[in-house]
Copies of this chain bind each other. A is one copy, B any other.
Amino acid sequence: MSRTSTITLLTDFGAGSVYVGQMHGVLRRRAPEATVIDLAHDVPPGGVAAAAYLLQRSFDCFPPGSVHVAVIDPGVGSARRILAARAHGHTFLAPDNGLLGPLLDGETEAVVHSVENEELMRERVSRTFHGRDIFAPVAAWLAGGGALEEVGPPVAAEIARPGAVLEDGVIRGRLLLVDRFGNLITNVPKQLLEVLGAPEGLRVSFGGRPVGGLVGTFSDAPRDSLLAYVGSGDHLELAVNGGRASDVLGDDTGAEVRVERSPA
């Protein structure tokens, strides 16, 4: 086992949860030399799209060769597959529910296998906690240099990616998640905004309510006013300078965020 191997954990179990602690325990037993890092555990329960965004925007903060384990798994215990993928010089483990979609979309070099080799799993696999019983031991094995091919047969991953769309000059997206400051993070990437041209003159609305134009950061907007900006994850975010956007705009993940050019 290389002393430099890194394993990250992304779940919706909640920080401080024993589910996270048990995964760390299994990793400590089976990959004692690896460094295990909590990427995030406050993903909304079952929030696959939010987790897909967080993983795609975060993995390259970590050293190349890291093993990233994502367990947002509302289908645990059903027939859904578990995928192990190698892409962008990193390794990923996640349920086959679209979580790896953004990472694999268009990646012709990516290699994806279905995790089926029971010899790599814990001796007794529960039906409700594959994070501990399958994900953690397989991650330990991969971090120790195990070959991707041995986890199971090669497969095609589900690339369900219900992303934001641009049609007739209007971007339509939606809310992915709300952070602790009440900022609303949307599924509208910076690149899609750029298709609309210069940020000046764009107007943003959420759930039918006008938010205003695009600014550079919080302090560019008057205090207590709504603002839209490209956040640290290179996606459109909505905030209130000195306040909580979620108090004003709500946190309905079904509501639509729209961006369009203001009529001249």
A111 CB, min distance to chain B CBs, angstroms: 23
Task: Report the nearest B residue to A40, measured CB to CB.
Answer: B18
* From B32, B40, B127, B232, contact of A16 by CB (8 A): B40
A80 CB, min distance to chain B CBs, angstroms: 9
Q: Which residues of B contact A216 (CB under 8 A)?
A: 77, 127
Q: Which residues of B contact A54 (CB under 8 A)?
A: 18
* From B21, B128, B179, B231, contact of A17 by CB (8 A): B179
A191 CB, min distance to chain B CBs, angstroms: 15
* B232 A128 Cβ-Cβ under 8 A: yes
Q: List A residues 26-81 near B (Cβ within 8 Å).
A: 26, 28-29, 32, 35, 37-42, 45, 54, 57-58, 61-63, 74-78
A6 at the interface (CB under 8 A from B): yes
Q: Determine which residue in A28, A219, A232 has the highest number of CB atoms from chain B within 10 A of its CB, and name it.
A: A232
Q: Which residues of B contact A45 (CB under 8 A)?
A: 180-181
A128 CB, min distance to chain B CBs, angstroms: 5
Q: List A residues 217-257 near B (Cβ within 8 Å).
A: 217-220, 229, 231-232, 242
Q: Which residues of B contact A180 (CB under 8 A)?
A: 12-14, 17, 45
The interface size of chain A toward B, counting residues with CB under 8 Å, comes to 58
Q: A21 with B39: in contact, given A12-B180, A14-B16 (CB under 8 Å)?
A: yes
A–B complex contacts, Cβ < 8 Å, 17 sampled: A10-B21, A14-B180, A17-B179, A18-B57, A18-B58, A20-B40, A24-B37, A28-B62, A45-B181, A61-B132, A74-B242, A77-B216, A127-B216, A127-B217, A128-B218, A128-B232, A132-B232
Residues of A at the B interface (CB closer than 8 Å) are 4, 6, 8, 10, 12-22, 24-26, 28-29, 32, 35, 37-42, 45, 54, 57-58, 61-63, 74-78, 126-129, 132-133, 179-181, 216-220, 229, 231-232, 242
